[in-house]
């Protein structure tokens, strides 16, 4: 009986009543992005304030994408399913001189309003594709290496 009591105390002591919050990305992204001024802030100030971007793309201008995501384990009755607390995205565009051009901040509610294209790209496998034509020419060369069968009088 003592062993069962000790075992149950150990199991209950290992359970935590506090919520465990998992945080990914840049902390306090909403507050940090408020300090950025369009056409005034430069690239070095952005990197000093927010840090390196989560994703960076280079086209005509540099585009930096910063992400902040917080999740928490829900109640025991939900069997540990994660609950999304915060999901923020900051998209910054910097010109070739290093000056901030645009700044777009999206929070969890804004992302529900973003419309995605529902069209599906079709796959077209026709007999006249490049691979089909290439393999057909290889087959012809194997069947008739000197090209005598193609000449008909």
Residue-wise pLDDT for 3-13, tens only, equals: 776 766 665 55
Q: pLDDT tens digit string along 38-97?
A: 999 999 999 999 999 988 887 777 899 999 988 887 665 566 677 888 888 999 999 888
Cα→Cα distances 66→29, 39, 46, 121, Å: 8, 19, 11, 29
Tokens 């917080």 — which residue?
A: 70
What DSSP line would sit under 103-147, residue for residue? EEEE-HHHHHT-------------TTSHHHHHHHHHHHHHH-TT-
pLDDT at residue 115, as a whole number: 75
pLDDT at residue 64, as a whole number: 92
Residues 6+ apart with CB under 8 A from 139: none
Identify the helix (H) or strand (E) that includes residue 57. strand 55-58
What tokens does 60 get?
């005509």
What average pLDDT does range 22-29 have in this prediction? 87
Domain ranges of the chain: 18-113
Report how far residue 94's alpha carbon sits from residue 53's, in angstroms, rounded to the nearest whole number.
Answer: 12
| Global pTM exceeds 0.75 | no
Higher per-residue confidence, 93 vs 138:
93
* pLDDT tier for residue 126 given thresholds of 50, 70 and 90: low
Please name which of 88, 73, 81 lies closest in space to residue 24, comparing C-alpha atoms. 88
């Amino acid at each position: 009986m003592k062993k069962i009591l000790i075992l149950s105390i150990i199991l209950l002591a290992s359970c935590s009543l506090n919520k465990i919050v998992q945080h990914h990305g840049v902390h306090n992204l909403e507050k940090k992005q408020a300090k950025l001024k369009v056409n005034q802030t430069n690239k070095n100030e952005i990197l000093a304030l927010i840090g390196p971007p989560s994703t960076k793309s280079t086209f005509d201008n540099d585009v930096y994408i910063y992400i902040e995501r917080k999740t928490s384990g829900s109640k025991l009755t939900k069997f540990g399913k994660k609950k999304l607390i915060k999901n923020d995205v900051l998209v910054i565009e910097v010109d070739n001189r290093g000056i901030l051009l645009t700044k777009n901040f999206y929070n969890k509610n804004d992302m529900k309003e973003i419309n995605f294209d529902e069209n599906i790209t079709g796959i077209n496998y026709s007999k006249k594709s490049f691979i089909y034509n290439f393999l057909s020419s290889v087959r012809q060369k194997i069947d008739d290496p000197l090209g005598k069968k193609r000449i008909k009088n």
